[in-house]
Chains A and B, each alone.
Chain A
Amino acid sequence: MSEHAITRRSFLAGSAGVAAAIAGSEFLSFGSWQQAYAEEAAGPTTTAHSLCNACSTKCGFTAYVVDGKLDKIIGDASHPYCEGTLCARGYGYADIAYSADRLTDPLKKNESGQFQAISWEQAYAEIGEKVQSIIKESGPETLAIVQDPRPSGKYYSQRFMNALGSPNVYTHGVACNMSKNSGFAQVIGASDYTSDVENSKMTMFIGRSYADAIRPSALHALEKAHEAGAYIVLVDPRLNNSIAFADEWVPINPGTDLAFILGMAHVLVSKGLYDKDYVAANSVGFDEWASYLQNCTPEWAQEITGIDANTIERLATMFAEAAPAASIEPSWRGAFGCSYDNSGETARAVCAFNTLLGCWNQKGGALFLPSVSASKLDAGTFPSVPKPEGTIVGAKEYPLSQSGMGVSVFAANLATTGMVRGMFFYNSNMVAGYSNPEHLKECVEALDLSVAIDVQMSETCMACQYVLPDTSYLERLELPEFVSAKTPVVTLRDKVIEKVHPNTRPVDQIFSELAEACGVGEYFTFSVEELADAQLASVGLSLDALRQKGTAAFPEKTFEYGKTPEWKTPTGKIQFASDACEKAGLPRVPQWREPAVSVPDDGASFRLIGGKQAIHSHTQTANIEALMDITKQYGLDRVWMNANRAAELGIADGDTVLVSNDLFSGQAQVKVTERINPEALYLPSHYGCSSPQQKTAYNVGLRQMDFVPYRLEEGYGGACTQETFVTVKKVGA
């Protein structure tokens, strides 16, 4: 019997000499360690300020780390979005750092379609070579990136793509709020505003639910408004959970919000209940719209919306009485962020209606809140990237789409033609969430180069050739996040814990190294710490100072009621009429436009609508076990069906039903309820994960997008996520 040197080498000490090293040292059994660990309060506690990543809100919190492991997070009272309160998603999503499904190494798909771990060096070398080859053969404009904006990700992804010479930088907006933002911009020259809910006398929500897509401060404001006696109206095919703080539910037919607004506007204009002085002083094109509105009577709107004409008239009159402390809330994705072929036009109508109330920047009205941003930095340390030639792919075809968001799925669709050859995805699950997954998967697989950067294996990662493992948001410092608020602030996502997996890398490092591999490393010669500090120095702060506080306010920039905004439209006025819309083939003024898809009146068909639940953000949080446990406990993956329709179809609460259309078919349990419009079938937007690597989320529930065809909204480019219908029948009947 012998023992050879190779077997004596120890990982723990690197040599056979370890035996001598530990002689006499104290071994501690697991049981003794557990006892000691409990008695010593589990080691030292450190704290750091960070920003949640469970949704786009990015609430600030203080993280408490015990003995190197995240122990708890508590919302920062100074952060304007959370005001000291985090939501369930925020608490649950922190588990991602330690998830058993984390990506731990760079991956490359092999010939049999399986992913295998490769080294970072190999990944960079192969990706870099392919990028340079594509640029040489087809030009940089055939490269694109899609990212769901996060503090560092939005900076580095844009800089990377622009450094390569491509303008094609996209967000998830096409399947979120782009149509809304683009429509707003046509009327008010700004892509968004904030309703002053807590000070309002009346606020109407169209398709948005603060209690289901939670931003804690928004929910606080709604609660205050309700307690102060404001009249809160929910216009939604589904009675959402905000009803706890609301006075009235308007169960509108899905896709008809535009007609509803036009009907209310008709009342204000025809009865002279609008703010004539405000309209005259601040707008153009009113007469054109007023002329069109003549036929948009409440009775006309009733036929389309299913809402009684008296209700429409009553609500319009109440608005006039409450003005200017009243507004239609801007919504987000909801009913007109991207849902229908009339979403952008609905957004225009919302802004036009608010203008009739004269509520812009009025207490209780609709506000344009101030923000602060970093100034231009020293070009020696942070060299400017030349502006790419040309415009973002999709801008020509969808001229009203916001260039800051872009029509990402259109760019992906061009992969099948070879006009787009390489795509990168950062923190973006385009394949599962932006349009029809099967189609988008085919698009990504048609690319010559596809690279996803993420923390877990999304459906988009699955379709790509390379997957690069990101650190989780808890494991890295990111660039400062400037937040618009009544008193604007800057916030920081600082590193909370050390990297859980040594072979993962933070987003700033990945893009800097990718740039080096692609031959444009000269634009990434600084660290994220240096850049963060320089950005903060430009607004009179420092990284060290912000690390201490997490959130820093700019009180000198505090919002003041009553100031007329600067309208950043081509005319410098609020535009009831838009030349750009006319040029894009749409009416000059907001007019009724049918959804592209009509639901057959056959007794068996429903329009499929989506919507958030308070414990999930799209598909991103479905793999969090604690959150999915809530889903399962309460049956949150059920589809909602109107009780009368269910009775007609012989379907009872809790039945398993088959939901089908020509694209997909799948089974789900049904919730039979009075809380939904008879035309609509509600399918929560978070389920149906088809990535087996996400072992908690996989195969739970149905995925809304599987039933949605690839379609883009005229002019705006929205993904038309509710332009589809399905039939439902009881399984086994």
Chain B
Amino acid sequence: MTGEDAVRLRPPNNTLNERAVGWWRTRLLLLTVVPVVVAAVPAVLIEPARPGLSALAAALAVAGLACTAFFPRWWFTVHRWEVTDEAVYVRTGAFWQEWRIAPMSRIQTVDTIRGPLEQAFGLATVTVTTASAKGAIRIEGLDHELAAELAQRLTRITQATPGDAT
């Protein structure tokens, strides 16, 4: 199938907000801290288990920090989104990449969600659901004002589209 007419999906047009990298890093750090503390506290308190547990804590910390340093940058280059008048188009992932396309006419609900950490970074997540049980599309790490605007726009377009989206 290799030929001059080969087609592939192009990356969506828009990147996420730059602050998403910081948000992902913070989230990964928090995820790292909890198991490291769980391993480190007994390492301090329990004498005989100290070598094993401190090694475990160190390994967890190194792995967590490595992920924190490595993945958010990668995610940022992969995660992209685009909304046209006809469709929502999102690319996510790192090792497993995923491209999702949902036509505007099949969108049922549009939600914006802001977790506490996202609020601290001024970010928001837009979730677009279709009638499929497996069709929800999430755009994480958008600037919250942009997200609100996008949600409004999506709602407006989908309301103008007739049909029950199945």
Chains A and B form a bound pair: no
